[in-house]
A and B are shown apart, each in its own frame.
Chain A
Amino acid sequence: MKIKDFVIKALIGIAASFGIFSVFLLTQQQNPLVVYKTLIMCFVNNRYNVGEIAVKMTPVLLAGMAALIPAKVGLSNCGGEGQLIAGCLTANIVGVYICGNMPGAVGIPIMLLTAALAGMVWAAIPLFCKIRLNMNETLTTLLSNYVMYKFVSYMVFGPIKDVKGNNYPMSAKIAEQLRIPSFTGTRANFMIFVAIAAAILVWFVFAKTELGFKLRIIGGNERAALFAGYNVKRAQCISFLVAGAIAGFAGGVIMSSVEFQMRETTAHDLGFLGFLATGIAGGNAIISILTGLMLSALNVCGTSLEISTGLRSAASTILMSIILLTIFALGRRKRAQ
């Protein structure tokens, strides 16, 4: 898919979705024009909100890569959500109990690396099921997400509950020096550039290098790859583990840059959004940057929508899902031309 094609498709899709959403707004006794003005105004002259887009976009983009890399070699990883949360949880535990007294320059890398490792380990379970037992990895990864949700609930209600936290189900906060410094006036930090660079790197590897070509052959036609003498299973394993590590890393970034402590619903839905961002991008890493940006922006303005118009924040989720579905609906028409 060419980027230009996609932009045209996305613009048509977004315009159509706004039309559909207007009908919904009218049924809810809201003036669509006022609502859309609010959506746009929340980014004008508002440094904080623009920063929030970057805050959301970092994990979404990284989780998107975690879905995209295995997809290129013929595996589907719907478990970015669980791997991301695994990373988040691990970063918190490491940050609170191990790196508490370390300086940031040592502690932050340790947190991020262990987070990546945790994501990798959590991805290894469905991978083992796929490679050794030939289980459907879509379903195993989806179900493993729910196991991770429950595990986090268990942890924050039990072992890692903050003793000074008035008995709320929350973990302790990581120390001040372990927090990634943010740009002034926002919660955003340089990790957004790392995420974008990662996406560009993924695109470059798959589009321009010999390795990427091999991997695409494996994903496109496993048999042809076998005849060509490629080690299919090994390539699939490595891709899947790398994907898990990226998702885990994203979790670590969330923990050390915005969340600082673990609650039951910390980092929920970000992995799914990442998966969907690459889903509508048709597996193109560069386009994922655009879709990730779009989804994050919509996610951010949901909150301002709730404050200024009194619509429940689920309303922006509805808008987001309508846009997703419309872009899916426009899929074939472009390809047929």
Chain B
Amino acid sequence: MMDLIENFLLNTVRSGTPIMFALMGDMIGQRAGHISLSVEGAMLTGCLVGFTTCYYTDSLLLAVLFAALAGAFVGFLQIHFNIRCGADMFALALAINYFCSAITNYFGASMVSKSIRGFSRIAIPGLSRIPVIGDAVFHQDILTYCSYLLPLVVGFVLFKTKLGVALRTAGEMHQVGVAYGYNIKRLKYGAVIAAGVLAAIGGVQLACAYTMTWTSDMSGGRGFIASALVILCSWKPKRAYMAAYLFGAAQSLQILFQLLAVPIPTNIVTMAPYVVTLVALAFISMNRNPSMPEELKKIGRPLEILN
């Protein structure tokens, strides 16, 4: 029984980590007034770029670096076409995801069923011996350790630094930012590109540490879930611990149920992450989201109207 719980917790943390990265990325973007659903595409691209780099060079640092660059490119496409070319945010994001899916399908075909060494799990001396949670929390790969700190870092940047104030101004009322002499456009570019970068690093963790394989379209909506979880967090970084691991737990139910031989079909259990996210979102939505960034409230006119 103890083993089972340990295994469940371990999987919860491991499958929660990619979401944590994408979640924090999109939170930065949303705080700056831009919902980038293209984190889905960025994550997928990160998976393939990270995996391929790992396969050919065996260098984890390069894998993260190249994936981050690819993610930055995806983020750039999203924000540039949105601001400069006036494309609709959501339709554009879906087109970008389609693009990422096509590119990764094409170039990833030769990577299917290859295996890599990937990230190894490092035990923190002492702490990893704590019963039940020790193995799950303190015997992980390096990216997961980074993800533990991420909400704290993002929280610090958003709420304690000048940059954070400027970013939030861009998301709350950009006219004020303009009046104070902030370059709102540059801030938005930075925020959305950061979202792409973080999501792509999440993708590296997914492909090179968690699953250690590449399959086409492996991100499977995790980016969308991350976007939804930002709302679940009410745009507060520290709540990401709860949100990301809630998703992780829903994801690892599948393995738990298999081990316990619970007679529920696998395909029903794999719905859990999506359904849990939706239900959690429904609960949080009952109190009218007082902390929603103002600029986000203006979105929701998806296509050009009254033409």
Contact = CB atoms under 8 A, between A and B. Distances in A.
Nearest to A321: B99
Contact of B86 (A129, A134, A312, A331): A331
Nearest to B283: A133
B267 A279 contact: no
A104 B200 CA distance: 51
A276 B304 contact: no
A320 B224 CA distance: 22
Interface in A290-337: 312, 314-315, 317-318, 320-322, 324-325, 328-333, 335
A228 interface: no
A150 B270 contact: yes
B265 A318 contact: no
A189 interface: no
Contacts of A75: 300
A266 interface: no
A275 B81 contact: no
B278 A279 contact: no
A147 interface: yes
Contacts of A157: 265, 267
A198 B193 CA distance: 40
Interface residues of B, number: 53
B301 interface: yes
Contacts of B225: 143
A78 interface: yes
Interface stretch (A66-74, A92-100, A247-255): A66-74
Interface string B244-275: 00000000000000000000010110110011
Contact of A275 (B77, B86, B94, B268): B94
A30 to B, nearest CB: 12
Given A157-B265, A317-B105, A71 B302 contact: yes
Name B's interface SS.
helix
B65 interface: no
B300 A74 contact: yes
Interface in B156-191: none
B265 A276 contact: no
Interface residues of A, number: 58
Interface stretch (A112-120, A177-185, A280-288): A280-288
Contacts of B302: 71, 76, 138
B220 A139 contact: no
Interface of A: 1, 67-68, 71-72, 74-76, 78, 129, 133-136, 138-140, 142-147, 150-151, 153-154, 157-158, 216, 219-220, 272, 275-276, 278-280, 282-284, 312, 314-315, 317-318, 320-322, 324-325, 328-333, 335
Interface of B: 35, 37, 77, 81, 84-88, 90-92, 94-96, 98-99, 101-103, 105-106, 109, 220-221, 224-225, 227-228, 231, 265, 267-268, 270-271, 274-275, 277-278, 281-282, 285-286, 288-289, 300-307
The 9 closest A-B pairs by CB, nearest first: A279-B91, A283-B303, A154-B267, A76-B302, A321-B99, A332-B86, A317-B102, A328-B87, A314-B106
